[in-house]
Amino acid sequence: MNEIAVDRLIRIALEEDLRSGDLTTEAVVPPHVQAKGAVRTRAAGVVAGLEVARRVFAQLDPQINFVARVRDGDYVEAGAVLAEVSGSARAILSGERVALNFLRHLAGIATRTRKLVELVAGYPVRLVDTRKTTPGLRNLEKYAVRMGGGFNHRFGLDDGILIKDNHLVVAGGIAAAVRAAKGVAPHVLKVGVEVEDLAGVREALSAGADVILLDNMPPAMISQAVQLVGGRALLEASGNIGEHNIVEIARTGVDIISIGRLTHSVEHLDIGLDFEPSLT
């Protein structure tokens, strides 16, 4: 996790929520009041984002005490206490929603990832995310995927070559695009290309592609691609893959399954922060 980038995101989120101040808290909570509360999950799932939540409160008041009771990557049952937080009631109340927004979102990603990872645990396949992330949150969302047991695909356009369908249109086809990429890529960098059928697999393999992305192929065609390639390139299946078909895809022998749904349109894990009844 890039802490500098995370702190910048937190500042933006706090500025968005607080704006010129927390009118409700300032109106009803005296400045001297201290509070203690528990961050508790209301549904079973995988934890991710505890350090982010801690840093939210620390930006508002460095004296707030945030003690994690579990670790990111842990699976917890409903009702589990994830952390205890104590200190200035005003600061805790003002940071509560931002901290929970990060925590709920990241835990939701980790929980979805873990579920899919477990479905294919018996197969030699790697489950990876995509660049279909929330703008500005990619660093954290990909962290949450790792906490769920998945792996990361490219973080950006500068850490890998993956030739997609629109590249192929302007580059003159699979063979021409792969040759052009291989001509400029460092020897340590793999060149990937997206294909839609077995003819594309053959062309990509002949051109020397290191990774062949099988886009929206049915399982039967993926199995044929695996046989055709015979281990001479990495094969990545992508497109409309989820709980309904991931096991069938994994059975084909493909090396990688990439799923955009790991990070986009994910359901948050229900997590809340409850104060103890007495304030001092």
Reply yes or no on whether the pLDDT at 2 is more than 90: no
Q: Are strands 126-128 and 256-258 parallel, antiparallel or unpaired?
A: parallel
The sign of the torsion formed by the CA atoms of 94, 97, 101, 103 equals positive
Task: Give the mean pLDDT of the chain.
Answer: 96
Q: Could you please report the per-residue DSSP string of 146-171?
A: HHTT-B---SSTTS-EEE-HHHHHHH
> Mind listing the domains of the chain with CATH numbers?
3-110+267-275 (3.90.1170.20), 160-262 (3.20.20.70)
Q: For residue range 228-243, what is the model confidence (pLDDT) as tens digits?
A: 999 999 999 999 999 9
Cα-based distances in Å from 260 to 33, 125, 132 = 45, 16, 6
Q: For residue range 88-132, what is the model confidence (pLDDT) as tens digits?
A: 999 999 999 999 999 999 999 999 999 999 999 999 999 999 999
Reply yes or no on whether the pLDDT at 278 is more than 90: no
pLDDT of residue 22: 96
Q: Locate tokens 């490219």: which residue?
A: 154
Q: Active-site residues: which are they?
A: 97, 132, 164, 194, 215
Pair 223, 241: CB distance under 8 Å: no
CA atoms within 13 A on the CB side of 234: 16
Q: For residue range 152-190, what is the model confidence (pLDDT) as tens digits?
A: 999 999 999 999 999 999 999 999 999 999 999 999 999
pLDDT confidence band for 280 (50 / 70 / 90): very low
The sign of the torsion formed by the CA atoms of 267, 269, 270, 271 equals negative
Cα-based distances in Å from 78 to 47, 116, 232, 271 = 12, 20, 46, 9
Q: For residue range 5-39, what is the model confidence (pLDDT) as tens digits?
A: 999 999 999 999 999 999 999 999 999 999 999 99
pLDDT of residue 1: 78
pLDDT above 70: percentage of residues in the chain:
99
pTM of this prediction exceeds 0.75 = yes
